[in-house]
Amino acid sequence: MISSVRGPVLSIALDHAVIEVGGLGYAVLATPTTLAGLRRGTEAMLHTALIVREDSLTLFGFTDPDARQLFGLLLTVSGIGPKIALATLAVLEPDKLRAALAEGNTSMLTQVPGIGRKGAERLIIELRDKVGALTSGTPGPETSADAELVRAQVTEALLGLGFAAKAAEQAVDAVLAKAVPDPGRPRDTAFVLRQALTSLGRKR
């Protein structure tokens, strides 16, 4: 998983910036607030989430890991894709988003383009407890927002490779449910993807 990028900003557009890393220019999609904090020609560092699909690899960038974690949580909700997740963080700052989910504030959530009342209610139902766990600072590596981000990314990758949604989710959950060989080292996207592909390959 590409968890961050650091380097000079080559260009800034309405929805993304290009950051040079090791001689390569990475297009990183970000919120208007994040982009407003960048300056062409100066060095920038963004925490990133890589979304893998059959025909694309897309980087989403955030100024802090907190926003990236919330992005990953949003992706675990049915019907919420990367664009809507990013739009949510563009409209609601992390603290406001947490508050809206914890308090069941559908009015605040429906301010986000693409999220209607039913979508807002689904977000609250599915994320209220997870947001509470995230703010408590007590979750272990396999129940943290980082694990949710890995789960969402690997599931997206498997869907892009043509696997059925249910089979992909079950394979990823099975990998994440296994004992971690090194408790101090959280699983990464590449590891989970390899294990899930191995599991799915046996079933074909």
pLDDT at 7 over 70: yes
Among all chains, which residue has been given the structure tokens 């789960």? 151
Q: What does pLDDT average to over the chain?
A: 82
**What pLDDT is stored for residue 74 in this prediction?**
94
pLDDT above 70 covers what percent of the chain?
83
User: What number is the average pLDDT over the span 52-80?
Assistant: 89
Which tokens go with 127? 């994320």
Tell me the CATH number of domain 66-136, given options 1.10.150.20, 3.30.465.10, 3.40.50.1370, 3.20.20.70.
Answer: 1.10.150.20
What are the extents of the domains in the chain? 4-62, 66-136, 145-190
Q: How many helices (H) and strands (E) does the chain have?
A: 9, 5
- Say which DSSP state 196 is in: H
pLDDT at 107 over 70: yes
pLDDT digits (tens, 9 = 90+) for 132-156: 655 544 444 444 556 677 777 777 7
CATH code of the domain made up of 4-62: 2.40.50.140
Among all chains, which residue has been given the structure tokens 């690899």? 57
| pLDDT level of residue 1 (50, 70, 90 thresholds) | low
